[in-house]
Amino acid sequence: MRTDYCGNIDVSYAGKEVTLYGWVNKRRDLGGVIFIDLRDREGIVQVVIDPDAAETFELASTLRNEFCVAITGLVCMRPDTQINKEMKTGEIEILGKQLSIFNSAPALPLDFNQDNSEEQRLKYRYLDLRRPLMTQRLVFRSKVTAAVRRFLEDGGFLDIETPILTKATPEGARDYLVPSRTHKGQFFALPQSPQLFKQLLMMSGMDKYYQIVKCFRDEDLRADRQPEFTQIDIETTFLDAEDVMAITEKMMRSLFTQLLNVDLGDFPTISYAEAMQRYGSDKPDLRNPLELVDVDDIVKDSDFKVFSGPANDEKGRVAAIRVPGGATLSRKQIDDYGKFVGIYGAKGLAWLKVNDLSKGVEGLQSPILKFFDEISITALLEKTGAQTGDILLFGADTKTIATDAMGALRLKLGEDFDLLEGEWCPLWVVDFPMFEEADGHLYALHHPFTAPRDSNIEALKANPADALSNAYDMVLNGVELGGGSVRIHNMDMQATVFKLLGITDEEANEKFGFLLEALRYGAPPHAGLAFGLDRMVMLMTGAESIRDVMAFPKTTTAACPLTNAPGFASPEQLAELSIATVIKADTKDSEKGAE
């Protein structure tokens, strides 16, 4: 029987015989001595095969990488010169006396010593996961879920499962459909979130609910998207936004303390409006010290129409970013930043270099200097806090474009100038607008079940565009970890919000009739939040993609190279499900309709 994991054998075992099971991480033959690095989930230990154990020695000489073996031997202190204090097992080695081989392995299709293609890594995922870095990530993920569960369970939250085979949910992304065999021509949808079910559970009196649950979105995948992803889903009854924020902030702090030995401290809270104004983002990375400074008031009377136009337009914005040390930027570099903001629709990027502040206007350099009087220039320098050696970069456009472009530029400059300070910067963003307006329509900024801060229905109807929602997002290092809201628990309010969103009575009844009905029967006030587990673990482990913190992710075309999913179904299966595949040569046609 195994004594312990390889990675746990340390000086406390010195002088003892141990039996270890694991994989050959490496075999080295040095001057007639065979060294085996034996690996398991917890780490690697060095084995020296006892040259006096002839049979074992002979067998050991057949070992190759990734053979699965059992080794029994004596734990010895390493010679002083070979001690590796970086490893838990670095002070000892095993004098291997007995060896047995559970299974051999041919040369591997993955080379653990270099990067392998993602396709190859996914096809041989069971090998890729043997790499200590990947193993540790899955171990860490398991620790995260265990810690989250204990925190919530100790807080009186019930783990309640909601259906996977359900009805289309209202998150707005594309649903995965599942044909029903018993109800011909009909389909289940896989849930994009358990939103409505968790609200119903609050109406059932379950009081505090949580679930770590798979959600599904059939979207075109980007680096950080997967067809199925995992949410830490939370809902509470009778609590307000501050209560839910306090509980979940405490949970996150406790996670970081337990698992990373990091004290996140109290999370600051800022409003959506402030976040957009200062950082040009609703999920600002506060490690980045750069800020957007509004200069509309200073430039609005200038002759420079590019600035004065937006500055005088209620829907325009002129914002500056001061980049410390940025005066060294070349014309080419500035031009590249100009192209970068172009991605966000900005037409250009004005700039002003502060070569020597003590020389007044003489010390400045900028193509737009001529448009401004000295008072304005002084005001610009003062408001932005410009110092010698800095550059000021200006965005002037519609509020949306200027904010987006300068927000993105802020992030890029922060990286390019290596400005990020502090390792972890969490915050809450609150006071989101209820609605976004586009093409004369209102859209829910969160989802249509989010309560407005002001529960007055008439006020909401009168001025929906200005209404704030009772929603809150938890942001860490520029990543939205989770978001939630107080939900509407009043049927009339819910019906009003549906109406404002342009959802007809018929559509509301068809899609959410059961929710409206449920709100009639003593529905309690309730509020909740959902965290993206994959993203959280990715951030905490420093992985670069959520694929690296999932055991069996899909490719960017939503396929699994390991199992070859998806695959073809038999005609019998399709017939039973009352469906047929319809593959048209002309994709445009097939986009128009199925028949």
Tell whether residue 532 is among the known ligand binding residues.
Answer: yes
* C-alpha Rg value of the chain to the nearest Å: 30
* Closer residue to a second copy, CB minimum distance, 42 or 50: 42
| Residue 403 CA neighbour count, 13 Å, CB half | 19
Q: Which single residue is written with the structure tokens 């065999």?
A: 181
Shortest Cβ distance from residue 87 to a second copy (Å)? 18
At closest approach, how far in Å is the CB of 479 from a second copy? 21
* Residue 206 CB coordination number (10 Å): 16
The answer on whether 534 is annotated among ligand-binding residues is yes
Q: Which residues between 196 and 255 bind a second copy (CB under 8 A)?
A: 196-197, 200-201, 203-207, 214, 216, 218, 227-228, 230, 237-238
β-pair partners for 391:
323, 353
Taking CB under 8 A as the criterion, the residue among 31, 32, 79, 106 binding a second copy is 106
Size of the site for a second copy (CB under 8 A): 126
CB of 119 within 8 A of CB of 71? no
Q: How far apart are CA 241 and CA 472, in angstroms?
A: 8
Rounded Cα distance between 148 and 141, Å, is 11
- Closest approach of a second copy to the CB of residue 35, in Å: 18
CB of 209 to a second copy, least distance (A): 9
Least distance to a second copy, CB of residue 530, Å = 16
Closer CB to a second copy, 466 or 505, in the complex = 505
Question: 24-58 burial string, b = 16+ CB within 10 Å, else e?
Answer: bbbbeeeeeebbbbbbbebbbbbbbbbeebeebbe
Residue 141 is labelled as binding a ligand: no
Per CB under 8 A, which region of 81-89, 140-148, 285-293, 412-420 contacts a second copy?
A: 140-148
Angle at 341 between CA 338 and CA 347, to 5 degrees: 75
Q: Which is nearer to a second copy, 129 or 420 (CB)?
A: 129
**Residue number, 454 or 576, with CB nearest to a second copy:** 576
Strand 17-30 to 33-40 pairing: antiparallel
Kindly state whether residue 347 participates in binding a second copy, applying the rule CB under 8 A: no
When binding is defined by CB under 8 A, the residue of 16, 28, 184, 461 that contacts a second copy is: 184
Which is nearer to a second copy, 74 or 560 (by Cβ)? 560
Name 216's bridge partners.
228
List CB contacts of 295: < 8 A, sequence separation 6 or more: 311, 318, 319, 320, 380, 383, 384, 394
Give min distance, CB of 172 to a second copy, in A: 14
Segment interacting with a second copy, rule: CB under 8 A, options 73-81, 312-320, 326-334, 582-590? 582-590
Q: Which amino acid is at 39?
A: R
Work out how close the CB of 30 gets to a second copy at its nearest, in angstroms, rounded to a whole number.
Answer: 23
Q: Smallest distance, Å, CB 521 to a second copy?
A: 5
Pairwise CA distance, residues 306 & 349, whole Å: 10
Query: Could you report how far apart the first and last alpha carbons of the chain are, in Å?
Result: 64
- Say if residue 431 carries a ligand binding annotation: no
Q: Which of 31, 54, 79, 103 binds a second copy (CB under 8 A)?
A: 103
Smaller CB distance to a second copy: residue 373 or 576?
Answer: 576
Segment (H or E) for 476: strand 471-476
Stretch that binds a second copy, among 45-53, 71-79, 86-94, 181-189 (CB under 8 A): 181-189
Cβ density class 209-229: b for 16+ within 10 Å, e for less:
bbbbbebbbeeebeeebbbbb
Using the rule CB under 8 A, give the single segment among 76-84, 301-309, 354-362, 577-585 that binds a second copy. Answer: 577-585
Q: Which of 27, 125, 322, 447 binds a second copy (CB under 8 A)?
A: 125
290 known ligand binder: no
Burial call 84-122: b when 16+ CB within 10 Å, e when fewer: eeeebbbbbbbbbeebeeeeeeeeeebebeeebebebbb
Q: Which is nearer to a second copy, 402 or 518 (CB)?
A: 518
Tokens of 193: 């979130």
**Distance of alpha carbon 416 from alpha carbon 288, whole angstroms:** 11
Binding mask 250-279 for a second copy (x = CB under 8 A): ------------------------------
**In the complex, least distance from residue 97 CB atom to a second copy, rounded to whole angstroms:** 19
Sign of CA dihedral 7, 8, 13, 17: negative
Q: Kindly give, in sequence order, each residue whose CB lies less than 8 Å from that of residue 374, ignoring residues fewer than 6 positions away.
A: 360, 361
Quote the least distance from Cβ 582 to a second copy, whole Å: 5
Considering only residues 150, 305, 339, 441, which one is a binding residue for a second copy as defined by CB under 8 A? 150
Rounded Cα distance, 87 and 106, in Å: 29
Q: State which of positions 466-525 bind a second copy (CB under 8 A).
A: 489-490, 514, 518-525
Structure tokens at 288: 């980045």
Residue from 36, 377, 396, 550 that binds a second copy (CB under 8 A)?
A: 550
Binding residue per annotation — 226?
A: yes
Smallest CA-to-CA distance from 150 within 243, 258, 240, 229 is with 258
Site string for a second copy, 151-170 (x = CB under 8 A): --x----xxxxxxxxxxx--
331 is in an annotated binding site: no
- By CB under 8 A, name the one of 142, 257, 333, 388 that touches a second copy: 142
Q: Give the whole-angstrom CA distance, residue 229 versus residue 214.
A: 6
Tell me the closest approach of the beta carbon of residue 576 to a second copy, in angstroms.
7
Site map 37..76 versus a second copy, x via CB under 8 A: --xxx------------------------xxx--------
Residues of the binding site for L-aspartate: 171, 217, 446, 487
- The annotation places the binding site at 171, 217-219, 226, 446, 480, 487, 532-535
Known binding positions for ATP? 217-219, 226, 480, 532-535
